[in-house]
């Protein structure tokens, strides 16, 4: 698998989360906590991050094991190769993973499956490239809280969002056994911000939809969020923000 030529820049499109942008910091930290929660499962392993995006998560996992970062977008793959040399960046289609059967110990797929048209086919591909007993790590927005009361996702980049029980059923149907099903929640400091702003997520969405500038107090609060402001647990799953699943091939 040849490395992709390096490229230093990556535009902010709204589809992917990019670190280092104050207005994006809440979403970046919300994603980061899931990587940090799952990273101990990757120690000494060969890991495929299927849909690595900007690459910050692949780089975090590369502190624990050997990481192949796969993305379909050429600009994204070249960016990852240039910014995160510890990650072996390759370009490929998630519908047909460019790896042989039984070649990796872990497939990580964080905040990606909701973008895919053929989720079932993708999970079968994950099963194919994993060694016996290998782990599938998935996070995805909880449909119940992310697009409440809707049959179609609010996010235009999402094709199909899942509730916790639906994700569990989907991975079991692809031949996996679920080891852990949990979710990301706001911790105490974010719950305080929810009270202060009438919902810190809704406050951010209203700014984006309104097209105006960010109120100073909201931007300062969002910029100050850290990964530890979130918690991951298996309590109150239907109320979680993002689903966190660990399954075994």
Read off the pLDDT band of 118 (50, 70, 90): very high
Residue 2 has pLDDT above 80, yes or no: no
Q: How would DSSP label each residue in 32-64? A: HHHHHHHGGGGTT-EEEEES-TTSHHHHHHTTT
Question: Nearest Cα to 17, choosing from 91, 112, 123?
Answer: 112
In this structure, what token pair is assigned to residue 18? 């990019």
Continuous segment of H or E residues that includes residue 16: none
Contact of 242 with 111, CB cutoff 8 Å: yes
pTM, full prediction: 0.92
Averaged pLDDT score across all residues of the chain:
92
What DSSP designation does 3 have? P
Of 37 and 154, the structure prediction assigns the larger pLDDT to 37
Q: At what angle do helices 188-197 and 200-210 cross, to 10 degrees?
A: 50
Question: Residue 203's closest CA among 191, 194, 212?
Answer: 194
Domains of the chain in start order, with CATH, are 22-186+234-248 (3.40.50.150)
Per-residue pLDDT reduced to its tens digit, 152-207: 777 777 889 999 999 999 999 999 999 999 999 999 999 999 999 999 999 998 99
């Amino acid at each position: 698998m040849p490395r992709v030529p390096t490229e230093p820049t990556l535009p902010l499109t709204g589809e992917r989360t990019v670190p280092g942008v104050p207005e994006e910091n809440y979403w970046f930290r919300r994603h980061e906590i899931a990587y940090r929660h799952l990273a101990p499962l990757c120690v000494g392993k060969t890991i495929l991050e299927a849909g690595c995006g900007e690459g910050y998560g692949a780089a975090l996992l590369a502190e624990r094991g050997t990481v192949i970062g796969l993305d379909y977008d050429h600009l994204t793959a070249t960016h990852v190769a240039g910014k995160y040399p510890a990650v072996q960046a390759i370009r490929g289609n998630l519908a047909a993973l460019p790896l042989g059967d039984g070649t990796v110990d872990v497939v990580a797929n964080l905040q990606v499956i909701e973008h895919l048209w053929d989720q079932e086919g993708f999970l079968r591909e994950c099963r194919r490239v994993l060694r016996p007993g290998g782990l599938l790590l998935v996070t995805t927005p909880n449909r119940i809280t992310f697009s409440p009361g809707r049959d179609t996702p609010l996010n235009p980049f999402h094709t199909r969002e899942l509730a916790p029980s639906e994700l569990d059923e989907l991975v079991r149907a692809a031949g996996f056994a679920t080891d852990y099903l949990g979710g990301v929640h706001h911790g105490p400091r974010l719950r305080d911000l929810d009270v202060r702003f009438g919902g810190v997520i809704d406050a951010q969405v209203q700014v984006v939809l309104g097209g105006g500038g960010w109120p100073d107090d909201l931007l300062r609060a969002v910029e100050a969020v850290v990964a530890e402001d979130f918690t991951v647990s298996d309590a109150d799953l239907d109320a979680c923000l993002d689903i966190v699943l660990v399954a075994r091939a």
